Structure formats: structure tokens, C-alpha cells
């Protein structure tokens, strides 16, 4: 009588499963410590960032150097900006959590804006020339969306220690620190809520490229040299 040999159990699927788990674990570690992917859901940061962009955000940039005026930051808006959405807290189900983790959809509590005022700054709109001033000096803002004014809403704010004042580049469409002047915290975001700095647009491919930081401040004399 013919003897049939016992086949060893197939281990290929187990290897694939373990490799997948390892890849997810490594990706999660990298994204929690160094760099993450975020989706831009609106036009509030145009022209630099457009709705539908996927960006890489460095979590370590501001560990190496402090936040400067003009920096773009991604931050957790809970307790400061999150009331802009609605009176209710965000509802995140499993599906939306996965798509947010993959950078396919936005978060109800994560925002991207530009730093205008640092701790201790006095931010005012506007001077006789229609420009926002910080500590009495008019800001030159070449990044503002073409045709927009620096702000049509008048305001005067003193930025407290440990917080920053933030505006979107597309001022006419951006809900930002101006929108929360009367709310608790005055629309000023704690520094410890800053997640990181956007460094690269990765999607769509025709917009692939680095995201520039603010220009380095050049010392000037009375002669402008």
C-alpha cells in the first residue's frame, strides 16, 4: 500500500502577516517620533498649500530650533481652535481614524497655520498702510493669497507666555486666531500643542516638492544695508 508523506504546514502566509505587522509597527514608531503624513482639507493656506495636498510633517524640526515668526506649523487645536468646527466634539470612527492615519482625510482637531506672533508679542491690525504690525513694526507678507488684504478684521492682541498667534495665508477664507478673540485662550495656541513643521508636499505628484521655511532675518542699518 502506498504511503503518503505528511506535508509540512505552510508558513508563507504567517511570514507575510508577521512582516506586515512589523512594517506597521515601524511605520507607527517613525510617525509618532519623527515624521508624519497629513491631509490638507481646505484652502486656508493657499497659495502655498492647497486643498487635497498630502504633506510630510517633521516632528523634530522645532526641537532643533525654536519656532520663528513666519513658520508654518501643524498643531492640535483642541481647547483653542476646535470650537471653530461646531459646538460638539469630533466623532472619530474606526474608518475615519484609518483614513486619517493614512493621510487620506483631515482631522477635526488638527490645523495648519502660519505663526505671526510669538510669546510677548503685540499683534495689531492694521497700520495706516493696511499692514499687520508686530511690536509696532509692519509685517511684509509676500505669502498672502493674491488679492487678499492682510486682514479686514481689526484686532489687537498681546501674546502670552507659552503661546503663539496664528493666521492662514488665504486670509479671506481662513478661520484662525482672529476668529477666537473672545473665546477662552483668545485663539492663541499653546506651544506644547504644536505637532511639527510641514516639510514636503508628497501628493499630488505635480505639486511634489519641499515646503520652504520663513526667510532668514537680515540685519539692516539705517541706510538699509
pLDDT tens-digit readout, 192-208: 999 999 999 999 999 99
b/e 103-116 (16+ beta carbons within 10 angstroms → b)? beebbbbbbbbbbb
Select the highest-mean-pLDDT range: 26-40, 84-98, 145-159, 207-221. 145-159
**H or E segment to which residue 149 belongs:** none
Contact assessment for residue 206 and residue 69, using Cβ atoms and an 8 Å cutoff: no
Q: Which has more pLDDT, 41 or 95?
A: 41
SS3 132: coil
| ∠ CA 5-10-15, rounded to 5° | 155
Structural domains in the chain, CATH included, are: 36-210 (2.10.109.10)
Between CA 185 and CA 127 the distance in angstroms is 25
**pLDDT tens per residue across span 132-149:** 999 999 999 999 999 999
Do 163 and 169 meet the contact criterion of CB atoms below 8 Å apart? no
In terms of phi and psi (left: phi > 0; alpha: psi -120 to 50; beta: otherwise), the region of 11 is alpha
Model pLDDT for residues 37-72, shown as the tens digit of each residue: 999 999 999 999 999 999 999 999 888 789 999 999
Of 8-12, 31-35, 122-126, where does the model show the most confidence?
122-126
Say if residues 56 and 37 touch (Cβ distance below 8 Å): yes
- Residue by residue, DSSP assigns 173-192 as T--SGGGGTTSTTTTPEEGG
Q: Mean pLDDT check: name the lowest of 49-58, 77-86, 197-206, 212-221.
A: 212-221
Read off the pTM: 0.75
Bridge partners of residue 198, in order along the sequence: 57
Amino acid at each position: 500500500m502506498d504511503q503518503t508523506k505528511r506535508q509540512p504546514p505552510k508558513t508563507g502566509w504567517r511570514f507575510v502577516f508577521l512582516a506586515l505587522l512589523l512594517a506597521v509597527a515601524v511605520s507607527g514608531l517613525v510617525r509618532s517620533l519623527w515624521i508624519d503624513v497629513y491631509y490638507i482639507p481646505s484652502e486656508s493656506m493657499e497659495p502655498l498649500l492647497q486643498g487635497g495636498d498630502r504633506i510630510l510633517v517633521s516632528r523634530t524640526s522645532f526641537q532643533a530650533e525654536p519656532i520663528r515668526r513666519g513658520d508654518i506649523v501643524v498643531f492640535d487645536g483642541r481647547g483653542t481652535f476646535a470650537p471653530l468646527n461646531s459646538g460638539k466634539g469630533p466623532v472619530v470612527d474606526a474608518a475615519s481614524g484609518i483614513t486619517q492615519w493614512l493621510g487620506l482625510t483631515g482631522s477635526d482637531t488638527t490645523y495648519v497655520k502660519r505663526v505671526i506672533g510669538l510669546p510677548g508679542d503685540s499683534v495689531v491690525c492694521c497700520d495706516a498702510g493696511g499692514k499687520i504690525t508686530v511690536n509696532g513694526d509692519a509685517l511684509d507678507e509676500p505669502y498672502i493669497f493674491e488679492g487678499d488684504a492682510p486682514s479686514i478684521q481689526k484686532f489687537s492682541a498681546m501674546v502670552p507666555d507659552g503661546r503663539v498667534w496664528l493666521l492662514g495665508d488665504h486670509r479671506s477664507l481662513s478661520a484662525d486666531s482672529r476668529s477666537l478673540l473672545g473665546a477662552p485662550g483668545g485663539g492663541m495656541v499653546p506651544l506644547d500643542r504644536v505637532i511639527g513643521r510641514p516639510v514636503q508636499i508628497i501628493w499630488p505628484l505635480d505639486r511634489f516638492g519641499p515646503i520652504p521655511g520663513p526667510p532668514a532675518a537680515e540685519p539692516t542699518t539705517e541706510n538699509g544695508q
